[in-house]
Structure formats: C-alpha cells, structure tokens
C-alpha cells in the first residue's frame, strides 16, 4: 500500500478547518441556548460579552507560562502581540502582530476571520461580534497585567464585522 503525502495533508487540512468551524459554531450555539434559558428580557449583547470575558480570562491564565521579560519591554509586547495573533489563527483567522511606531506599541491585524460568518448563521449583530473580540482580548490582558505588573490595554481600531476590511487592534502599555 503506497502512501500519498499530498492526499494525507489535504485530509488533515480539511479536518482542521472542520474543527475550527465547529468551535466557532459551538460558541454561537451556546449563546443561543443561554438566551433561551435567560428568557425574553435578556440582553443578547450582554450575554455575548460575558461569554467573551469568561473565555478570555481562561485563555489568559493559559497564556501566562508562555510569556517572559527576557527581551525587555518591547520584546515582551511583541511576544504578547504574537501570542494574541496566534490564538486568533488557531480559530481559523489570518492574523499577525506588527510593531507600532511608539515604543511598546503593537498592532494585531487580521485579514480573514471566519467568526462573522458563523455569527450570521445565528443572526448575531456584527457590532456584537466586534465588541466580543475586543472584550475577550481585554480580559486576556487582565491577569497578564497583574502578573507582570504592567498596565496593559488593547483597543479596537478597525473590524471586519463593521465593514472596515480588516481587524486592527492596538496593544499598548497604559499610562
């Protein structure tokens, strides 16, 4: 029996994309169930933001062991920016981190994100998708800020769900 490497790689690639899609859709399935349980007076946006916060806090704790201060503040900020972009890539996006013009400033840019597509399937407003991504990254930074004793912040400058062509988040040391 011969081994076809190209066929096996293609199969693994399809499986990866299927798993990423299931993760995204499961988030929105969960949101739908939470709304049904919460009742008609529940605010869908608040439920989404709470979920983003909880997920971000959990992800942030897992991120801590991978970060260090060995290359100084600018190296740390780039490492953190790359880690956030990497988390996004695991979800099926195409994200990267770039050094900003100011010291300690990093821009996380994403040109392709499948989550707005998943959100459309569940009639989730695009503004909520953007707000949840920002909230998740902000909550990731909470424990990182405390652990490294650096006040960190991240703000959303552009978002695909807003029709702005790409995501741009600015990561910086808060004053």
Of 3.30.1380.20, 1.20.120.80, 2.102.10.10, 3.40.50.10420, the CATH number of 5-173 is 3.30.1380.20
pTM of this structure = 0.88
For the stretch 46-86, pLDDT in tens is 999 999 999 999 999 999 888 988 889 999 999 999 999 99
Contacts 24+ apart (CB under 8 A), 47-52: 48/124, 48/128, 48/131, 48/132, 49/128, 49/131, 49/132, 49/135, 51/27, 51/132, 52/131, 52/132, 52/133, 52/135, 52/136, 52/139
Q: Tell me the pLDDT tens digit for each residue of 122-151.
A: 999 999 999 999 999 999 999 999 999 999
Q: Is the pLDDT of residue 33 over 80?
A: yes
User: pLDDT, tens digit, for every residue of 98-128?
Assistant: 999 998 899 999 999 999 999 999 999 999 9
């Amino acid at each position: 029996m011969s081994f076809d490497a190209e066929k096996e790689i293609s199969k693994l690639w399809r499986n990866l994309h299927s798993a990423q899609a299931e993760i995204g859709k499961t988030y929105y399935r969960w949101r739908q169930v939470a709304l049904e349980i919460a009742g008609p007076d529940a605010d869908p946006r608040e439920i989404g933001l709470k979920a983003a916060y909880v997920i971000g806090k959990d992800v942030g704790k897992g991120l801590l062991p991978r970060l260090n201060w060995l290359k100084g503040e600018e190296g740390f900020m780039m490492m953190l920016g790359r880690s956030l972009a990497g988390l996004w890539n695991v979800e099926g996006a195409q994200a990267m981190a770039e050094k900003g013009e100011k010291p300690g400033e990093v821009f996380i840019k994403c040109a392709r994100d499948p989550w707005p597509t998943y959100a459309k399937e569940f009639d989730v407003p695009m503004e909520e998708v953007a707000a949840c991504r920002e909230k998740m990254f902000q909550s990731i930074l909470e424990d990182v800020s405390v652990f490294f004793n650096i006040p960190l912040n991240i703000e959303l400058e552009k978002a695909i769900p807003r029709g702005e062509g790409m995501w741009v988040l600015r990561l910086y040391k808060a004053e």
